[in-house]
Amino acid sequence: MAQLKPVSLDVFAEAREEAHAVLAHLMARLAPGEHVVRLGVGMDGQERPLSATLTVTVKGDGGSDDLVGVELKYFDNFVFLLACGLAQTLCWGVMYLRSPAAEQDGVAYTVRAWDLAWGTLTECDAARAAELIGEREPAVFADAFGVHSSDDGDEEDDDEDKAVYPPVAYTVL
């Protein structure tokens, strides 16, 4: 059985903060509807990757006042697993988002994916997302967007990261 090297509490706290920021960036880009975010994290020698699923409901008209809701217990599990993957650079995995597709797509869902490797989520193009997800999700695959706080392109002020939250507070269903 493979064994991970321990990480310090400071490193894990930083990874947990980044996991919260990743989800905030992701949720800020969602259109109204019900979205599902799935995460698998594994390591060499592990029989099956660990997984977490988070359903995100966005209610509104697509503006900045939309209400974003998640179930707290699933949110906490998702954040914990993502933080583990971000803190432990020997882990690997994939995170993907299934969203309602635009009506002209002719399918029910659009899927975007991110590779988890070396403590970072890297956005996948549509072809890589289709390769990673395959037949698990019959959908149209789209290019992913950046979800890390440094992907904003605005490194001048750390307070800018708070701007990803819509004016309306997130709710717990």
In the prediction, which pLDDT does 116 show?
94
pLDDT 10s digits, 13-39: 999 999 999 999 999 999 999 999 999
In the prediction, which pLDDT does 156 show?
43
Confidence of residue 173 (pLDDT cuts 50, 70, 90): very low
Residue-by-residue DSSP string for 30-80 = PPSEEEEEEEEEE-TT-SS-EEEEEEEEEESSSSTT-EEEE-HHHHHHHHH
Residue 119 CA from chain centroid, whole number = 13
Residues 147, 153, 156, 157, CA torsion sign: negative
pLDDT 10s digits, 99-144: 987 665 567 889 999 999 988 999 999 999 999 887 776 788 999 9
pLDDT 10s digits, 45-101: 788 899 999 999 999 887 778 899 999 999 999 999 999 999 988 889 999 999 987
CA proximity to 97, closest of 110, 81, 80, 116: 110
In the prediction, which pLDDT does 64 show?
75
Q: Which two tokens stand for residue 51?
A: 């997984």
pTM comes to 0.81
In the prediction, which pLDDT does 114 show?
97
- Phi first, then psi, for residue 37 (nearest 5°) are -110, 125
Q: Is the pLDDT of residue 160 over 50?
A: no
In the prediction, which pLDDT does 151 show?
52
Contacts of 137 (CB under 8 A, 6+ apart): 96, 98, 109, 111
